[in-house]
């Protein structure tokens, strides 16, 4: 009986719908990446494992977040950021692994991890410690601080070390793949601030009346696009590169 109560989804609740869809999509993507890992060349196995871990960690968190949301009707902010604290640095690991063959140093990985943690910690303070009723200045300050981390990652992916290493890799597959991931950072990651600005005091909340429930709607959509999409790009690089090796 309790089980049925927890799983009841209101027909008009798009957020609950995306929590469930997100959970299943992440789980399905994880299974796909783990199974496909056996089909790719040895040097890509770790990349696919990381892709699978990203979606699997997200699936577990989505399992808890959907119940939390249905039980309380509130944003599962803490669970959300715990998920991101684990998965976003893993996305940075993907950049490192892709460019490692071209000479990426461990320092690149740490810089990307630092920037992603900076971005998340500032975002968490902005969201979780928002004063009662919402404060625009609080939301703006921490939002901008978080954006600095994002801009660093964006620069690294488009012009910085990652882009240069991809260019030096002499592999069209890696070049194209890294560029696609850079597009994910530019467009896909930009969906998150839209959700952030829906919280009480956020600009979209104040100017357009978008309620705080939309925070999760945008986050769920962004997570599905970025985590699964990111993994699929890595998968595509791995499988194409492995097939090229076989035919060579």
Partner 1 sequence: MTRAIFVFIASVLLLLPFILNEGGIPISYQMIICTPFLLLLGIPHGAIDNILYLRNNPIKNGKFIGVYLVLVGLNIGLWVILPGVAYIMFLLLSAYHFGQSQFSHYFNKQPVIYKVLYLFWGVSIISGLVYLNVEEIQQIMSQHKEFAAFYSLHQENHMFYIFLISTICTFLLMIFLTAKKYLSLETLLMEMLVLTLIIACFYLMPLLIGFTLYFVTLHSFKVLREEYRFLNSERVVNSISNFIIMVTPFTLFSIAGIGLLFGLIYLNILSLSYGYCLLIVISSITLPHVFVMNSFYNLLFRRNFYKGHT
The alpha-helical segments, DSSP class H, found in 129-212 are: 136-158, 161-168, 172-183, 191-196, 203-208
Per CB under 8 A, the segment of 28-36, 67-75, 140-148, 240-248 that binds partner 1 is 140-148
CA 143, 145, 148 angle in degrees (round to 5)? Answer: 110
> Looking at 151, 172, 208, 245, which residue binds partner 1 (CB under 8 A)?
151
If one asks whether residue 140 binds partner 1 (CB under 8 A), the answer comes out as yes
Q: Which is nearer to partner 1, 129 or 159 (CB)?
A: 159
Instruction: Name the token pair of 65.
Output: 């977040």
CA distances from 91 to 97, 117, 248 (A): 10, 12, 30
Per CB under 8 A, the segment of 63-71, 137-145, 222-230, 231-239 that binds partner 1 is 137-145
If one asks whether residue 136 binds partner 1 (CB under 8 A), the answer comes out as yes
Q: At what angle do helices 229-247 and 172-183 cross, to 10 degrees?
A: 170
Query: Least separation, in Å, of the C-beta of 182 and partner 1?
Result: 8
- Lay out the site mask for partner 1 across 175-204 (x = CB under 8 A, - = otherwise): ----x---x--xx-----x---------x-
How many helices (H) and strands (E) in the chain? 12, 0
Q: Which is nearer to partner 1, 57 or 215 (CB)?
A: 215
Instruction: Name the token pair of 75.
Output: 């944003």
Residues near partner 1 (CB under 8 A): 136-137, 139-140, 143-144, 147-148, 150-151, 154-155, 158-159, 179, 183, 186-187, 193, 203, 207
């Amino acid at each position: 009986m309790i089980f049925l109560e927890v799983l009841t989804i209101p027909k008009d609740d798009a957020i609950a719908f995306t929590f469930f869809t997100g959970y299943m999509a992440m789980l399905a993507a994880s299974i796909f990446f783990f199974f496909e890992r056996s089909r790719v060349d040895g040097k890509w196995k770790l990349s696919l494992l990381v892709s699978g871990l990203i979606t699997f960690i997200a699936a577990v968190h989505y399992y808890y977040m959907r119940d939390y949301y249905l039980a309380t009707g509130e944003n599962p902010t803490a669970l959300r950021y715990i998920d991101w604290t684990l998965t976003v640095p893993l996305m940075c690991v993907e950049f490192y692994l892709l460019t490692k063959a071209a000479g990426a140093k461990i320092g690149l990985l740490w810089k990307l991890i630092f920037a992603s943690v900076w971005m998340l910690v500032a975002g968490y303070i902005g969201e979780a410690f928002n004063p009662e009723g919402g404060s625009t200045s609080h939301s703006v300050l921490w939002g901008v601080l978080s954006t600095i981390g994002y801009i660093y990652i964006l620069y690294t992916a488009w012009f910085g070390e990652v882009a240069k290493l991809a260019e030096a890799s002499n592999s069209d597959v890696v070049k194209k793949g890294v560029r696609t991931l850079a597009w994910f950072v530019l467009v896909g990651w930009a969906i998150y601030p839209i959700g952030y600005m829906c919280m009480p005091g956020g600009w979209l909340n104040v100017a357009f009346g978008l309620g705080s429930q939309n925070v999760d709607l945008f986050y769920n959509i962004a997570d599905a696009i970025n985590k699964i999409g990111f993994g699929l790009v890595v998968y595509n690089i791995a499988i194409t590169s492995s097939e090229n090796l076989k035919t060579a």
